[in-house]
Structure 1
Amino acid sequence: MRDSAESFDPAYGRVRRAGRKRRPYFDDEATSAKRERYRPRLATEDAGDATDGLPEGDRWSTWDQSTPTERGPRPHPEWLVTELAAVDTELGILKTGKEADVYLLRRGVPGGRSCLLAAKRYRGAEHRLFHRDAGYLEGRRTRESRVNRAAANRSAFGRQAIAGQWANAEFGALCQLYGAGLPVPYPVQITGTEVLLEFIGDPDGTGAPRLAETRPDGAELAALWDQLVAALAGLAGLGYAHGDLSPYNLLVHGGRLVMIDLPQVVDVVSHPNGRGFLARDARNVAAWFAARGLPGADPERLARLLAGEARLA
């Protein structure tokens, strides 16, 4: 049984703090596998004095703009640059989608060490948000009736509130899953509706391919399947389903499988269709492995395993 005092509740979202003006964005299922790099797009009209003294396209590190609860689990990884003198330089776009964009950043101290980060930005109220969000948002209500009404009506304020809920839902889920040892990117920090994550890829900025872009066979295919089953079983053991799992939100780097895109993580115990989300995740990924000739990639068997791990059997 999960310890509710320790676990993250994706059914509760938080509205972005008033007065913090930052461009909100979101990351959704990929529409294309972008490989274009080094297109600076960091500076915005909202940056104001934050970029004083820096080249266009750069900003000072936002590390000090996040509270301790808005930063990733401790101990912070050794590779992470937390110095306040660091500068964020945007190198290009990693992924685009109907509701989101993800950018590649280099955070580094001038003349010193640096690290690569993925900036996942939830879009603002002027954009159409989460065309498939109704099922995921069921039960994800705040304690403020005004916010609940606005979200239900999809007003501009309501869409902004939903963006805040999804950003905080993903960051909170990643913190818990990373702390539990599941294969997800390290969640660096959240500021407003921008989530900074560990970049999964090579030091030269080449992102890890999605599972759908790979052609594994034999032992490699079997190893990836074993990693996937273990990851999904661990997720279900915590009481969650990914909610939108597919070969497009699984990365493969150095033979390691990494789950990404978790804003819609579903609490399968409290959600009325929790078992259905587990079964859909199992079906989507098992079908991909089965199509590549892997014996034992049975979606029904995987769904039963996950339901058992979630104590829904």
Structure 2
Amino acid sequence: MRRLPPLNALKAFESVARHGSLARAAEELSVTPTAVGRHVRNLEDVLQVSLFEREGGALRLTQPGRRYAQSVAQAFGQIVEATDALRATPGRVRLAVHAYTTFLVRWLIPRLSSFHARHPEIELALSSGYDSVDFERDRVDVAVRYGHGRWAGLVATRLFEDELVAFGPPGTRDRLAADGPEAILRETFIIHQRRPQDWAEWLRTAGIEGRPQRKLEFDDLALVWQAVADGLGIGLTQRRYLAADIAAQRLEQISDTVLRRGRGYYAVCPAEAAMRPSVRAFLDWVAGEAAAAEH
């Protein structure tokens, strides 16, 4: 049997390589920084290779250390996946995905039959919420985030650009067009409380001066959608969320103005998780769906 390095030392090395810090690795492993440092030095002694360059209190992976860290992270990822598969339905792998509620309802869920057909061995567990996932604390494999696409330690797969459009019940566009652009200010504006400046920015982009006469506020974009669908006013949403409702003539885009702000929606996961086959399969699939929706 091949002799493996001490597993505790491997765990310590992988954690330090990922965090770039003895203290953060120690916190994750529930041991002292001294113990983590001792494990790493023990591993270097066993391997007869310097894995880190030490400059003062800073640690930086050597070239051999970087290659080894990638392989070790991949190996641990495969162990995690094998364990999840053992706990789940025989022959299947569980994959936890966290995203915004409206993203799930309006974009992801309608497409999931395609993923299930392509990967019947992967069981998805979906959760929703507005706050960002803490991958070190939460049992989540992939999350959807809004932003510029750069988050330390995470692999980000771009899905689509932030493009806000105004929408309302059928007939709203023609009614407003007959009275000129400023007529929109007489409508009831349905506002998402977490993004209160969206309407002001959209109005500036449209070249419309003034403030709406009436507002109705909600703390969840899913409720904004429901209020617009029930005819309570007009709202703002991602352009890509509207396609099915426009096709079914349930809702309509009421203006050609599109608010773009250089941000977007990304599927993100820790770098080591991206090497796992189930995570890679989901990221490739969801990126393909996003690209197909552009054509």
Q: TM-score, normalised by structure 2?
A: 0.22
The structure number with the bigger radius of gyration is 2
Q: TM-score, normalised by structure 1?
A: 0.21
Question: Which protein is richer in helix relative to its size?
Answer: 2
RCO greater where, 1 or 2, for CA within 8 Å and sep 6 or more? 2
Question: Which protein is richer in strand relative to its size?
Answer: 2
